């Protein structure tokens, strides 16, 4: 069985202990991943700290050149990386609307190249006969990155590339559920980046906890659940470690009476079930005006019934398994609660293939606020559809939960849609779309969905501190 190693100071480092990585499509063990010790984490942080002075002294152009070389090397190893993604995460190679491993890999390349093309330049606040005042952005030091299992490679890139571009060094811990693609990425990177600039340690929760309280880590970037994000805040407090937290969501979409159902149904379906629903900003609660409710339910159900859930390596598979048993159990529990409340299952609702962590695309209506399926983030292939009469009720429902990652409004009246969108309490709001992100548009949550932003110039600034330079002329 293949074994992987840690990446510390540009070297492949073996461990005494390992943990098994499971293929969610057949529950088989696909590899043994290295279980880092606290001492090895300390070595990784020390390596990053030692590499920081030289790396931060490079110009943006010099760092950009290395990151572009990294993108080329990643692209050259695309087939292997996509295969690993399907093995450990479960997503199909292509899948529905080509939103599988190839989509994640393509996004990875796009994000590296787009982000590496950016730059933060000094700003002039004042320049007169008295003084010149400039605002400079300086790197923070060592950045700790903790990433989830739904997009192992892509979210890792979201953390790593802006940190490196702005002159920081990185210690990264991927999810223990999906560490392999990131470890392979680190092997590729070590031949391009200076030693110590990027380090990857793998293990379980104890390693993540040690990172968040580490006195030599200057910033933590975390994507994951709200409870874990709150624990990280507490752990980081003693060192005043800076944080960017992209936490859980339960995105609401509001479909108005004038929505073009034929046009919006495919988009609603795709953005609800992207990555089998295992996407932070997927559409997870759908509020539909009573006048178009039945038409939209029929359109979505017809699409759902044509989908195949299966092994990601099968060419005709649209959706793979849930990534892990815990997530499958959450989906089953929420579905059972909905059944007990008398909800109507338009399709799906029962796991019929126990060879892997499979659950069919499921649509549920005749359900209201207060049901667990509506109030709790399902993070899986099951969508509640709630009928409304008054748009004010829909807005209140969308805003009533203590999460605020994304939201959407669906209407042919763009002016009306914008006025409603502006009232939604979320970090990103879409009109006639959902879950669409890009490297130059800031993305982040409000309320219990976290704070700080990623992407674009605003996201780059999260990895820097401000130094105001005043030059007296008299």
Tell me if residue 3 is catalytic.
no
- The 8-class DSSP code of residue 449 comes to T
Catalytic site residue from 246, 377, 425, 462: 246
Q: Which of 33, 36, 23 is nearest to 2 (CA)?
A: 33
Give 265's Cβ-side CA count (13 Å radius): 16
Query: How many angstroms from the chain centroid is the CA of residue 393?
Result: 30
Is 280 known to be catalytic?
A: yes
Residue tagged active-site, from 88, 264, 280, 454: 280
| Distance (Å, whole) CA 18 – CA 36 | 8
Do residues 403 and 248 lie in contact, with contact meaning Cβ atoms separated by under 8 Å?
A: yes
Quick count: other Cβ atoms within 10 Å of Cβ 343? Answer: 21
Exposure pattern of 348-387 as b/e (b: 16+ CB <10 Å)? bbebeeeebbbbbbbbbbbbebebbbbebbbbbbbbbbbb
Q: Does residue 8 sit in helix, strand or coil? A: strand
- The DSSP result for 328-354, as a single string, is HHHHHHHHHHHHHTT-EEEE--S---T
Counting every residue, how long is the chain?
A: 474
Q: Radius of gyration of the chain from Cα atoms? A: 23
Neighbours of 288 (CB within 10 A): 27
Residue with tokens 């499509």: 25
Determine the Cα–Cα distance for residues 231 and 229; give it in Å rounded to an integer.
5
Angle, to 10 degrees, between the axis of helix 180-189 and the axis of helix 152-165?
40
DSSP state of 194: P
Tell me how far apart the alpha carbons of residues 227 and 175 are, in angstroms, rounded to a whole number.
16
Q: Which residues are catalytic?
A: 246, 280
């Amino acid at each position: 069985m293949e074994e992987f190693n840690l990446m510390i100071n540009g070297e492949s480092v073996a461990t005494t202990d390992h943990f098994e990585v499971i293929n969610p499509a057949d529950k088989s063990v696909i590899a043994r991943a290295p279980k880092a010790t606290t001492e090895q984490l300390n070595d990784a942080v020390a390596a990053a700290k030692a590499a920081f002075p030289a790396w931060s002294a490079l110009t943006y152009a010099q760092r950009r050149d290395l990151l572009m070389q990294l993108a080329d090397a990643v692209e050259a190893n695309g087939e292997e990386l996509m295969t690993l993604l399907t093995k450990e995460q479960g997503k199909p190679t292509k899948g529905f609307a080509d939103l599988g491993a190839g989509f994640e890999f393509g996004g990875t390349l796009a994000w590296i190249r787009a982000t590496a093309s950016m730059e933060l330049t000094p700003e002039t606040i004042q320049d007169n006969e008295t003084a010149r005042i400039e605002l400079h952005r300086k790197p923070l030091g060592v950045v700790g990155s903790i990433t989830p299992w739904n997009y192992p490679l892509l979210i890792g890139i979201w953390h790593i590339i802006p940190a490196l571009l702005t002159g920081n060094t990185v210690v990264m811990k991927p999810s223990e559920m999906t560490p392999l693609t990131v470890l392979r990425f680190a092997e590729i990177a070590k031949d391009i980046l200076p030693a110590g600039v990027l380090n990857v340690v793998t293990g379980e929760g104890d390693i993540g906890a040690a990172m968040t309280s580490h006195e030599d880590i200057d910033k933590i970037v975390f994507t994951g659940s709200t409870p874990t994000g709150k624990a990280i805040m507490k752990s980081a407090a003693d060192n005043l470690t800076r944080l960017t937290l992209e936490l859980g969501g339960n995105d609401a979409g509001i479909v108005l009476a004038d929505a073009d159902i034929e046009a919006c149904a495919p988009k609603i379906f795709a953005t609800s079930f992207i990555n089998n629903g295992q996407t932070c900003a997927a559409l997870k609660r759908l509020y539909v005006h009573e006048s178009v409710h039945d038409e939209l339910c029929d359109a979505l159900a017809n699409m759902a019934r044509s989908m195949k859930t299966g092994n990601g390596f099968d060419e005709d598979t649209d959706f793979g398994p849930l990534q892990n048993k815990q997530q499958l159990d959450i989906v089953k529990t929420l579905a059972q609660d909905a059944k007990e409340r008398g909800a109507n299952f338009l399709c799906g609702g029962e796991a019929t293939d126990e060879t892997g962590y499979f659950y069919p695309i499921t649509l549920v209506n005749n359900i209201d606020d207060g049901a667990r399926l509506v109030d709790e983030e399902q993070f899986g292939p099951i969508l509640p559809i709630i009928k409304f009469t008054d748009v004010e009720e829909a807005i209140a429902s969308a805003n009533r939960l203590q999460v605020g990652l994304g939201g959407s409004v669906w209407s042919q009246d763009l002016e009306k849609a914008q006025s409603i969108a502006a009232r939604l309490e979320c970090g990103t709001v879409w009109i006639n779309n959902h879950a669409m992100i890009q490297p130059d548009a800031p993305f982040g949550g409000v309320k219990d969905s976290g704070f700080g932003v990623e992407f674009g110039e605003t996201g780059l600034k999260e990895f820097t501190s401000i130094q105001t330079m005043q030059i007296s002329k008299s």
